[in-house]
Amino acid sequence: MMYNLLKGKKGIIFGALDSKSIAWKVAERAHEEGAKFVLTNAPVALRLGTISELAEKTGSIVIPADATSMMDLEELVDKAVEELGGKIDFVLHSIGMSVNVRRGNHYTHQDYNFTKTGWDVSALSFHRLMSVLYKKDAMNEWGSIVALTYMAAQRVFPDYNDMADNKAYLESVARSFGYFFGRDKKVRVNTISQSPTPTTAGNGVKGFDGFIAYAEKMSPLGNATALECADYTISLFSDLTKKVTLQNLFHDGGFSNMGVSTAIMDSFMENYKEETIDEPKKKDKK
């Protein structure tokens, strides 16, 4: 359903790569809700993805920008304000990358140059982006900035590797910079901690299918899809959430408040019974 929640609003959406991307779904929903925006991603990502199709579908333009470059971000913001005809109302930061994960480096044996690169792209880029928006006074009052995160920032998911540290830093930046953005510019800053979602980036994490299956069994409402995350993001861009800021908002079907579910316990006990039945047989063979 369409509600015109973003009618007349202008934004920047980072990170749409292909139709699996949450940022892609956010762009589609923002367009349906009446917003105008520019799309951006790193030049290399633009070559790998299909963002031009999204731009055509939503009547948007694509402005390449390396989120680790202050110069690129400054040019992006200036061009966006010019293209959209005024200050920005909403921004989505949907950027994440770990070279250690891509190279198969275990968390205990990282290449620290790779670690720095991943942190720069995935987390420091959020501070850098907000710094540019803040200094240029590019956001309208009651504007909204949202970054996507994951619960590995709070709890251990062994194969999520150094991305867990990046997300923890990202969430901290949202709170710390969000204070100043709220106090000085009346702009709100939040992070959405989404269910594990089968995006192109997510599928690069070892054991990600296991994450998804486990979370589905653990969550009373099941995993949230990319489209459902987009709907939630739109609500945070809208005027209906004007006083929501400095929050890490869990959008995960209830997973974050669960200790154990009956589905997980039933599966565990079934395996446990099989193990206890097999154990005496193994002893008899000896």
* pLDDT in single tens digits along all 286 residues of the chain: 789 999 999 999 999 999 999 999 999 999 999 999 999 999 988 888 799 999 999 999 999 999 999 999 999 999 999 999 999 999 999 999 999 999 999 999 999 999 999 999 999 999 999 999 999 999 999 999 999 999 999 999 999 999 999 999 999 999 999 999 999 999 999 999 999 998 766 556 667 788 899 999 999 999 999 999 999 999 999 999 999 999 999 999 999 999 999 999 998 888 777 777 666 555 555 4
Residue 30 lies in a domain: yes
Region label for 57, one of left (φ > 0), alpha (ψ between -120 and 50) or beta (otherwise) = alpha
What residues are designated binding site?
A: 15, 21-22, 95, 167
Q: Which domain holds residue 241?
A: 10-261
Residue 286 lies in a domain: no
Residue 155 lies in a domain: yes
We report the CATH number of the domain holding residue 117 as 3.40.50.720
Per the structure, how many domains does the chain have?
1
**CB 141, CB 185: distance < 8 Å:** yes
- What is the DSSP secondary structure assignment for residue 241, as one 8-state letter? G
**CB 5, CB 235: distance < 8 Å:** yes
Residue 231 lies in a domain: yes
Residues involved in catalysis? 150, 160
What residues are designated binding site for NAD(+)?
A: 15, 21-22, 95, 167
- What is the DSSP secondary structure assignment for residue 254, as one 8-state letter? T
Measured in degrees and rounded to the nearest 5, phi and psi for residue 61 equal -110, 155
Residue 284 lies in a domain: no
Cβ contacts of residue 132 below 8 Å, gap of 6+? 70, 73, 74, 77, 138
- What is the DSSP secondary structure assignment for residue 36, as one 8-state letter? E
d(CA 122, CA 205): 15
Residue 100 lies in a domain: yes
Tokens 């892609």 belong to: 24
pTM of the model: 0.93
Residue 2 lies in a domain: no
